[in-house]
Structures are given as C-alpha cells and as structure tokens.
C-alpha cells in the first residue's frame, strides 16, 4: 500500500499482540532508509541477531557472512520477524534469505510499497492496505482533534475539508 496508509501500524499491532509466543523476535523498522546508510544491511542483520539472541552481535563484516549467521540462528528457533518498509528483493534476501531456513511455526511480516517485491510463486499471504473511506477518515480525525467520534459543533465544515485533503491516509489524519 501507499505511504501513510497504516501498514506499519498494523504490523506493530500484530507484533505486539504475538511476540511473546515466539522464542526469538525482531522488529526492523524503516528498513528502506536504514538499508541505504553506510553498511546498512549489515547493521540491520546485526540488529536482527541481537534481538533474537538477546545479546549484542557485532561480529558480522559483510552481508554474506550475516546471511549465514542468520540462517544458523533462525533454523532452530520459532521466530517472529517484522521487516518494515522493504523496497527491494535483495534487502529482503539479506535478512531472511530462503524461506526453507525458517523453523516450523516461525512468522515473517513484511510491509512494502512495492507490490512486486514478492513473486507469485512465493508462499506468502499478501494483504493490501487501502485508504480509509470518508466517514472513517472523519471519525479518526475527530478522535485525534476533538477526543470524540464526531467534529465539535462549529468545526464540521473545516473538518471535512481536512479529511478530503488527507485522501484517507491515517498518518495524515492523525498529524
């Protein structure tokens, strides 16, 4: 889905409601931006391993070495991994590689704007997050602006203008 539609919020909620069911867990946020930084994929690999092993992992020097270490760790632990805002397949592969590495019962959640990221033959459940309709948009805006489900008297017209300008994007409506 498009930016601001709520993919990250949904992923955070699913993660927060389920992480305790897994031996290892990691939520890698802002993946697209962080992977573009110097040594970004290696830093993300280190964070993933540190999160899952519950200790600092520094001894990864390149992406290939990181892939091997991740494989060793996730093949024998039920893990919950969230990759938030992945842009390209090689970013995805640097973290989770081949799906057959995963221990039975492990789950990976990927948020992306790139609907072609996962190919048709990947065994993934895909969910498209759509913008809110006008009524839901007004309700969300009203809760954030007025602390109630509807606009305060005298602000109805202005509220509708704002809602129409935000095009159903929850992130814009909450700002």
Q: How confident is the model at residue 102, as a pLDDT? A: 84
The pLDDT of residue 120: 56
Do 99 and 163 belong together in one domain?
Answer: no
In a domain, 20, yes or no: yes
Six-digit token string for 82: 């969230």
Residue 52 in domain: yes
Whether residues 24 and 78 fall in one domain = yes
Same domain for 101 and 145, yes or no, is no
pLDDT score at 25? 96
Compute the distance between CA of residue 171 and CA of residue 137 in angstroms, rounded to an integer: 11
Asked if the structure places residue 126 within a domain, the reply is no
163 is in which domain, residue-wise?
134-174
Domain boundary among 58, 77, 110: 110
Per-residue model confidence as pLDDT tens for the chain (175 residues): 667 777 888 889 999 999 999 999 999 999 889 988 888 999 999 999 999 999 988 889 999 999 999 999 998 999 999 999 988 888 888 887 766 778 899 998 988 888 777 765 566 777 777 878 888 888 888 898 999 899 999 999 998 888 888 888 877 777 6
Tell whether 119 is covered by a domain.
no
Residue (of 57, 82, 83) closest to 70 by Cα position: 57
Residue 129: helix, strand or coil by DSSP? coil
Question: How far is the first Cα of the chain from the last one, in angstroms, to the nearest whole number?
Answer: 19
Assigned token pair, 86: 């992945």
Residue 117 φ/ψ region, left for φ over 0, alpha for ψ in the -120 to 50 degree band, beta for the rest: alpha
Residues 36 and 105 in one domain: yes
Which CA distances in Å does 36 have to 113, 122, 129? 16, 25, 25
What's residue 29's pLDDT?
93
Residue 81 pLDDT: 93
CA distance linking residue 70 with residue 48, whole number of Å: 8
Same domain, 144 and 103: no
**How confident is the model at residue 50, as a pLDDT?**
96
pLDDT value, residue 78: 95
In a domain, 91, yes or no: yes
CA distances, 58 to each of 37, 65, 80, 103, 162 (Å): 17, 12, 21, 24, 47
């Amino acid at each position: 889905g498009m930016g601001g539609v709520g993919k990250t919020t949904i992923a955070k909620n699913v993660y927060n409601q389920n992480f305790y069911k897994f031996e290892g867990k990691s939520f890698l946020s802002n993946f697209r931006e962080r992977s573009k930084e110097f040594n970004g994929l290696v830093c993300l690999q280190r964070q993933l391993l540190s999160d899952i092993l519950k200790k600092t992992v520094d001894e990864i020097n390149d992406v290939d070495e990181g892939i091997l270490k991740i494989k060793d760790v996730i093949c024998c632990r039920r893990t919950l991994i969230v990759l938030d805002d992945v842009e390209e397949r090689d970013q995805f592969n640097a973290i989770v590689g081949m799906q057959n590495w995963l221990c039975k019962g492990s789950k990976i959640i990927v948020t992306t704007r790139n609907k072609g990221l996962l190919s048709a033959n990947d065994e993934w459940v895909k969910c498209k997050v759509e913008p809110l309709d006008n009524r839901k948009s007004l309700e969300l805006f009203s809760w954030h602006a007025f602390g109630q489900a509807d606009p305060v008297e005298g602000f109805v017209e202005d509220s509708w203008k704002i809602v129409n300008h935000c095009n159903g994007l929850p992130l814009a409506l909450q700002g």
